[in-house]
Amino acid sequence: MSAALALSRAIDSVTTFIGRSASWLILASVLVSAVNALVRAFLNTSSNSWLELQWYLFGAAFMLAAAHTLKQNEHIRIDIIYGMFSRRRQHWIDLLGHLFFLMPFVLLMVWYLFIYVNTAFQSGETSANAGGLLIWPGKLMLLLGFILLLFQGVSEIIKKIAVMRGIIPDPTPHVSTHQPIEEAKPVDGVTGAEHV
Amino acid sequence: MFEIIAQNMAPIMFVSLIIFLLAGYPVAFSLAANGLLFFFLAVELAPYANGEITLSWPFLYALPDRIWGVMSNETLLAIPFFTFMGLVLERSGMAEELLDTAGKLFGPVRGGVAYAVIFVGALLAATTGVVAASVIAMGLISLPIMLRYGYDRRVASGVIAASGTLAQIIPPSLVLIVMADQLGRSVGDMYKGAIIPGLILTAMYAGYIFIVTMLYPKAAPALPPEARSFGEGAPYGPVMRAVTFPLVLVLWGMILLFSPGLALEMLALLLPPVATAFNANFTAQGPVIFAFLGVLAILYFGYYLFLRAVPRALSQGLALVFALFTAYSIYRAGIDLASRFGELPTIGETGIWFLWELLVWIVHDWIWYLAIFATSMGALALRHAPSVPVAKAVAKIVNDLLPPLVLIFLVLGTIFQGIATPTEGGAMGAVGAILLALMKRQLSFDLTRQALESATRLSAFVLFILIGARVFSLTFYGVNGHVWVEHLLTSLPGGEIGFLVTVNIMVFLLAFFLDFFELAFIIVPLLAPAATALGIDLIWFGVLLGINMQTSFMHPPFGFALFYLRSVAARVPYLDKVTGDLTAPVTTGQIYWGAVPFVIIQVIMVGLAIMFPQMVMHYKGVPVAPPADGGLVIQAPAGGGLGLPPLGGGLQGLPGQTAPSGGVQPPATGLPGLTLQPLGLPSPAPQGGAAQPATPDLGQPPKLN
């Protein structure tokens, strides 16, 4: 078990590092997008590759951050019933969900995306827009995102089993998005941003 | 046995989706897992299905392309942009100063602080699309003030929570972006359609406060005199008189940015020499706008100088000039009224709309009334100039009010004038917010990092729900689920109205339990085909649902706005900072009950928007017929025939759609009113652009007979 937990920690640190770094791509995307608009307004010119770059950056950001989001238990749930369960039962739902919902989907996607990216790479496909970007780097982001999710899924399963056996404390106690507001905690700073 | 399952695959799949989702595993992966599970079942059972199932293994190869479609959807970029912008603004202190100033401006009126909250809520809503920011700021700043001066706790907390949710319906809201995306319509049209309902809703909130102050004056009192001052030597009255002229200049500037033609028309009326000089020197519109802004700035600074430091004799002279201009404006307004005397409406012609028509007749010359108001107040203020405290108070008001207005222009102005796509508008707003926070010295590395991480996290879970929905829809459409849902919904009794009422009641109830993201990605795509089949305009439909889903933020007991308010409102008795009195905390029950009237207002608003589609339909630029008395008959055009977007609303955007075709369009000149340019957005049109916005084949707007 301790070897598995070490693996889980290693995966967590990699996905955390990648996920947090990826968020800066959003800032880059903001700047690219704003400059695009200004250039078009004032210089009356526009470039498809810059227009595509903004969503390449965004795509990279959310794909690479998905595993980190999973680690933080921030993928949104409908917890109207889940929230009423005991923590033990919630653990079981999470574990079975990881095993039978998350992993098959992610495995399948890694397989198909691998073919998909490889095809785009071999053919040197570029975007259909005039002056558009090469497509495979964008598609590669999808693949990388799902590979990270695959690893994070493994890590989550290890942690969940360890938590259920009482080996480690619960890293992400369930915070309901639908709890009655009586239990709301005081807000300080940038919190609650997830629910706009 | 197999036949029964195979031929009822869609309902079985749908029910099992509900079970999957209710189990509480993250929505994104539950959707995907449900889609895949039933994909395998469907392929295995296809031989028994009588042709109901059109899936086979090679269809799985479509999945990567569907996910790529989610990623390459430029519209969705607006989600992180507006979230990031909202988070930076929340920390920039802009909301706090705005609340402080607005609270003083409205303070002396009964219910004044509540009006200020609504005003600020609407203003913040027009800068960004995030609820949390405004509720938290208002809960921290305005709630203690309202409690201090004896507001009813339910009224105080209700108005804060509700005003915060205005961000969900007043453009640029995330709800509308997602809705436009899911319905396969342009975000720009959705924004245009939502403006008037958003403003009416704001007015209804204010109307509710007005009724409260009439029925229960003690529930929302005016601020006492000692709380009205803008500081030593700057009592309320003189400051208000002095600030009128600058505020009218600000208003003029906003008109200029949103509708240059109208502003230039005003210039030609009010200051003919300047207009002549402009015409002689400029040919292009861009320089005119900059020169115009320069003129406004000069007027403001000149006025400010007189207010603050110029010797009394000179300012008296300027006061005289202002007074003369007032007299001239009165004269012009009188002439205009007299010239239109023949058009004076009579009760015989207009029936029950007489008062309305009379009002329209009177305010036709609003430019002159505005001039009378501004210059007369200016003259009065200058008579008592110079006064440093008054001038400082004026400058503070203008300084607090300008940043949100500039942001509104950066975001909405550029979108409506066709300078930027909604995505780019969001980016410019985000850059504007960063600059604002820099100027106020509130921006730190940590804040930026936190805001970016929050925006990224939000993007990740939202986009993954969408990816999951795309996997689900591959199967669901393959087993003809969309046909089943459409049939179910179109067979509702009552035709279009019956459909709208049923759907809205359903969404209203679901909104108790579901986030709007969940509603928008799972429910809306199922509703859209049925709506189209009934000939319902999807922009109208989207705005209706948007207003409705706004309630999901204020439904007791789960609404997020209430949640945020609870988190910042006092839980234990506390000593008031100003009076030193022990103040009772706000109970959760008070927060719940405070929200109820606003939820009811919301329901009324949905009803109004169903009854008067014109308030949304003007996005098409069709002339809006004045409402006539008589029964409301909505024609459902023989409709449809449209390629319907699969679940996940037309996200398989063709590569060719990424280039905004809007480009640079010089705004039309000389047109009064808010002239809205066609946006030419890269509209996420399903099936090769079959559903371009505002094409007539979508079913014409319901008409009033």
Average pLDDT over residues B119-134: 83
Read off the pLDDT band of B163 (50, 70, 90): very high
- Return the exposure string of A76-98: e unless at least 16 CB atoms fall within 10 Å of the residue's CB, then b: bbbbbebbebeeeebbebbbebb
pLDDT in tens, A27-86: 999 999 999 988 888 887 778 888 899 999 999 999 999 999 999 988 888 877 888 888
First to last CA, chain A: 40
Extract the tokens encoding B6: 């195979």
Name the band, by pLDDT with cuts 50, 70 and 90, for residue B647.
Answer: very low
Give me the mean pLDDT over the B659-676 stretch: 37
Q: What is the pLDDT of residues B267-276, one digit of tens each?
A: 888 888 888 8
Pick A78's closest partner by Cβ from B24, B74, B132.
B24
B679 close to A (CB below 8 A): no
DSSP state of A182: G
Q: Does any CB of chain A come closer than 8 Å to the CB of residue B558? A: yes
Burial (CB count within 10 angstroms: exposed 0-12, middle 13-18, buried 19+), residue B271: middle
Q: Are the beta carbons of B421 and A62 separated by less than 8 Å?
A: no
pLDDT of residue A175: 67
**Band of residue B25 on the pLDDT scale cut at 50, 70, 90:** very high
pLDDT category, A177, cuts 50, 70, 90? low
pLDDT attached to residue B289: 84
A178 band by pLDDT with thresholds 50, 70 and 90: low
Taking each helix axis as running N to C, give the angle between helix B187-215 and helix B422-439, from 0 to 180 degrees, rounded to the nearest 10: 60
Model pLDDT, residue A176: 62
Q: Are the C-beta atoms of B667 and B675 separated by less than 8 Å?
A: yes
At B692 the pLDDT is 37
pLDDT of residue A181: 53
Query: Which residue among B63, B82, B654 sits closest to A112, beta carbon to beta carbon?
Result: B63
Structure tokens at A69: 């989001």
Between B170-174, B196-200, B278-282, the lowest mean confidence (pLDDT) is in: B278-282
What is the pLDDT averaged over residues A130-159?
Answer: 91
Note the pLDDT tens digit of each residue in B37-92: 999 998 888 888 777 777 888 888 889 999 998 898 888 898 899 989 988 887 78
Q: What value does the mean pLDDT of chain B take? A: 81
**Nearest chain B residue (CA) to A67:** B460
C-beta atoms of A31 and B518 within 8 A = no
Angle at B334 between CA B331 and CA B340, to 5 degrees: 145
A123 touching B (Cβ < 8 Å): no
Q: Is the pLDDT of residue B661 over 80?
A: no
ipTM over 0.85: yes
pLDDT reported for residue A179:
52
SS3 B583: strand
In which band, very low, low, confident or very high, does the pLDDT at B653 lie, cut at 50, 70 and 90? very low
Inter-chain touch B83–A193, beta carbons under 8 Å? yes
Query: Between B224 and B684, whose confidence is greater?
Result: B224
Q: By CA distance, what is B550's nearest residue in A?
A: A196
Test B514 with A78 for CB contact under 8 angstroms: yes
Question: Cβ contact (<8 Å) for B86 and A196?
Answer: yes
pLDDT of residue B447 exceeding 60? yes
Q: Which of A69, A105, A193 sits opposite B32 (nearest CB)?
A: A105
Q: Which residue in A has a C-alpha nearest to residue B64's C-alpha?
A: A113
Chain B partners of A41 at a C-beta cutoff of 8 Å?
414, 419-420, 664
How far, in Å, CA of B349 to CA of B659, rounded? Answer: 51
In terms of CA atoms, which chain A residue is nearest residue B286?
A: A42
The pLDDT assigned to B468 comes to 92
Mean pLDDT estimate for chain A:
85
- Shortest Cα distance from B128 to chain A (angstroms)? 10
Closest by Cβ to B452, choosing from A27, A40, A44: A27
Task: Name which residue leads in pLDDT, B168 or A174.
Answer: B168
- Give the integer Cα–Cα distance in Å for A150 and A154: 6
- pLDDT above 80 for B679: no
Q: Name the pLDDT band for B690 (thresholds 50, 70, 90).
A: very low
Lowest mean pLDDT of A20-29, B111-120, B541-550, B687-696, name the range. B687-696
Residues 158-177 of B with CB under 8 A from A: 167, 174
Number of residues that make up chain A: 196
Q: What is the pLDDT of residue B213?
A: 93
Is the pLDDT at A186 greater than 50, yes or no? no
Does position B667 have pLDDT exceeding 60, yes or no?
no
Q: CB B87 to CB A59 under 8 A?
A: no
| Segment B182-200 mean pLDDT | 90
Residues in chain A with CB shorter than 8 Å from the CB of B81 are 29-30, 33
Q: Return the structure tokens found at A88.
A: 């033990």
Q: Does B129 touch chain A (CB under 8 A)?
A: yes
pLDDT tens-digit series, residues B569-606:
888 888 887 788 888 888 888 999 999 999 999 999 99
Strongest mean pLDDT among B32-46, B119-133, B484-498? B32-46
> Which residue, among B312, B299, B177, has the nearest Cα to B250 in the 3D structure?
B299
Highest mean pLDDT among A46-55, A145-154, B485-494: A145-154
Listed range (A81-85, A127-131, B301-305, B379-383) with the worst mean pLDDT: A127-131
Q: Any residues with CB less than 8 A from the CB of A183 and at least 6 apart, and which?
A: A176
Task: Calculate mean pLDDT across residues B467-494.
Answer: 87
Find out whether B497 and B531 touch, Cβ atoms under 8 Å.
Answer: no
What DSSP state is assigned to residue B57?
G
Nearest-neighbour CA in chain B from A155: distance (Å): 16
Contacts of B465 in chain A (CB under 8 A): 76
A68 touches chain B (CB under 8 A): yes
